[in-house]
Structure 1
Amino acid sequence: MTLAARSFRTGIGSLMTVAVSGLLAAPAVSAAPVSTPVTPPFASQQVADSSLTWGLRDSFRSYIRGPIAQGGWIVEGIADDDGILTWSGGAGTVDPEDATGSVSFIGGVRYTGHVGYHQEGEPALSAEFTNPTIEFAGDTGTLYFDVESLDLDENIVGGSQIPLAELDFGAGPEVGEDSLSGTAEATLTAEGAEAFAGLYEAGAPLDAVSFDIALTPIAEEESPAAEEQQAEESGSGSTSSGTSSGRSGSSSSNSSSAGSTSSSSSSSSSSNGSGSNASSNPSSSSTRPAPAPGSSGSGGTSGSSSGTAPSAVSAPAQSPGSETVQEDEAYTTETVCTASGVSGATMSWGVRESFRSYIQGGIAQGDWSLSGTSYSGGQYVWSGGAGNFDPDAGTGTVGFAGDVRFTGHDGVLDLSISNPAIEVTGPNSAVLTADVLSTSMDGDRIDLTGVTFASISGSITVTGEQISASGASVTLTGAGADAFVGFYEPGETLDPISFTFPLTEECHEVILGADGQPVAGSSVPGALAQTGASAGDIALGSAALASLGLMLLIMRRSRQSLSLEA
């Protein structure tokens, strides 16, 4: 059934339902004596007029109209302001006291793209969203749609009143005396991700949803206090036990039942209008789910001490700017090794699973190529990374060589991510940078060097041997979204990342004072670090001087002996 036919049938059903509901909801005539009015509690109110405004997702609209999909969209029964869609005339009931209830609308939109990819004149991408229902549950809610779309293998997916997005109203909708309005942040559900043909994953942010609902009171139930007052004035001497809704035969109970019937019928007509089974009434809880409501480090000199055992030595000569040293004070030496260099590092990252699926799917019909990297188990692996790390500060940077290149749509889609680097900024944080070469939706070439592609969060383990993280969370940055040519928006979750940075040690000998702490500005006596002489050189020099002295002594005595003989 076409979108127009479904909308027409739904509209007629809604009008009939409202007419019947109005007749049933007429209050019964009561023979009880007239009593002083008692103000009833807040009750559910029927929607008199309403509007819902939503653009689904900005990047999706850009993709549809871009040079890759080369598509567009058509609407019926709703207003379209350059992709920002507005539904009007919704029906339903809402309790403004606790912001609960639901409102259903008629009309929708169909997006198409990649026409002629598999069959002449037919789109390979088709997604239709009609007859939305917004459900309120306090400060959260759910947005339902009738959905019919094609997955990446061109199979039809969807159904009636699919929960497409979870809504967050923040502090809750703005409640007036006879209105309910506000704006909600929207997040894609798992069912919604299927409707988007796998382009986006569950949890991806969607455009914000705005709504403005005018309310009129339904036939209100009388309060227990009012009924007790009526009973006293009529002289019956009986009192009410329990609420009026709990007693059969009362006019207020009949009125409430009629109002409930009206609400159910109104929502049902919206669902039926979509051409779906009437059992999928979005207002019925039985036909759909309810809405969802420092790593420790080793430290700078915590590496193992090795080398010469502590021994007593003379104090070194004082150098400018060094700590004052007493000439006769005894000192000890110790070899200290500090891990600060990184070599042989590895990094594993899948970029984004849904993007890989899209690239190899029936629409893009593409693939990826590797240079200096490998692919295993859904992850691209970079190895041989090198860099530096400061154990005291818990920070450092490690870079890798190699790239992965994604292509599709006969080369129109072309994205290369190369030479990534991870900069650890704290015990639970890091950033991922990379060189990116891609093509924008307008066909412009994008060439970025060292762009901050994503942020990394999660436990980063620091030991004396390595820095590592396993399955750390990765979030796309604004610069990364630009590099991704608009496929995804800032803040979206990418695949988790794992890395291992082996540390290399740098050793040096220091002098320890009487308190066991290194003496500032001092060096080990005899090391001759400034001249470059080693201990072996000193030993050889000493032996040579001793030999020369002995030879001079022998020559002198020989001359004295010759003089005496003469």
Structure 2
Amino acid sequence: MSATATRARRRPVMFAAAVATATALGAAALATAPGAAAASVPLTGYELSWGVKESYRNYVTGPYTKGTFTVTDGASQADGNGVFTFTDGQGTYDSTNHTLHLAFKGSLVAESPVHGFKRVLSDFQYDSATGVLTADLTADDGPTQQDVPFAKVAAPTGSDMSGLATTLTTEAGTFLGSPSYAGAAGDPLSVVKKQGTTSPSPSPSESETTSPEPTSSTEPTSSPTSSASPSESETGNPSSPKPSDSASRSAKPSASASPSASTAPAPSRGDIADGRLTWGVKESFRGYVVGPVAKGLIAASDGASQASGNGVFTFADATGTYDTEGGTLSAAFKGSVNFKGHQGEGEGGGYGLDLTLDNVRAALDGGSGKLTADVTSLGEKSPNVVLADLKGASTKLTAKNDVITVHDVTATLTEAGAKAFGGFYDKGAALDPVNLSVALTKGAELPSGNGTSGGGSGTGGTGTSAGTGGIDGTGSTTGGTGSTTGGTGGSMAATGSNVPVGALGAAAATTVAAGAGVLYALRRRRDTQA
């Protein structure tokens, strides 16, 4: 299906930071005569990157499903069973309501001859007004359903459309084959302008006579915080006015009009003023704790919070130091997270699993680093445990609007981290990615989201029938909800990579998880007695 720029059924809703977006768009959308009706601005050359859900990708390509992903018609997939990218995004920008609608090329096929399913997704469309990502869906050899709501997408911050949190819809859960996916957090979604593309703009003489604002682009920039004006990034003209010039004309404050944006930038090195780190530890571990075997709970406290749906954790109030020239950063975050499970019989029975992580710290040097925390297991505290080796996508640290933001840092379990988790995971196991943002000045505004699916502190609750078959299974687990039998026709399972319920059966998967729980309790008793 081709891009449709003027869908009347789309409900116009403003961006959370409309002024910042409008500023990034340049004067092609703004330089109209007073009172003139604003027209839709055509957009071209965008890309959408989204992995749907990491545990789903692991399930499809896992050792039991033995499936594959095939991308065609302009789509691609990152190495290592990574995220998918859809290209040639076209659509329109509504300069009145500061919303956009884009449609992308590319098809994605998930297929498993072993489990007998084939799922085709195509014609992805993102509408910032409704905050919905739609797609055309084809299950097996059935008819194609068009424009199906597939994920809810968090509102962008100004013109920054990278790392947007997503929540899978009920329709997505049905299509993927497990009700437990409905309402679950999907992978972060990013929409960026492909470098090197051009966009319509008025001639230089028009822009000079009608408006003093930058006019080299009519589209949102791909820069996360638009620290450079469109004219600087696209035409190389350093003398053109910056976004803050036009943003200051609005009565509504925005990131570009913050105190930090109007003052001198922070020095290249110094003390961190604030910050937060978002990390889920390991999705399958969270599911196991509140699942039907451990029947436990998760509690975030002392400044930490957990996203809804048994989501990731956010640790706040960062302190530490940074050096952008040297590419180094060291930050400590407030907050504590406790995991409890396998409670003993009778009132007041102790827990066989009682693990607390606090005093979380992240250090980066040239793109690599360590994630450290104080670990308390069954009442015994071990300070300064290096839980994970970190690896960022870039060796550099760049401050924009006096904020350093690093997304999707790979976290790999260390030997010390494996011991902290009772030996359930081997050294080198992949943990959830780390996202962090640190403010270099008190006036700097931290971006919202950081890949989370929601805020607020909470607990995982007691699980009784969660969609997880074992410690490496995943699904929607908070409060013990979910499915243990898979989805439509039993073709998909509500699991992660290692214990597919659809292949082994719910009873077999529960047995595996129960054995893991007993092993954990026995190991802990043995260690205590030693």
Larger radius of gyration: 1
State if a TM-score over 0.5 links the two structures.
no
TM normalised by structure 2 equals 0.35
Give the structure with the larger strand fraction: 1
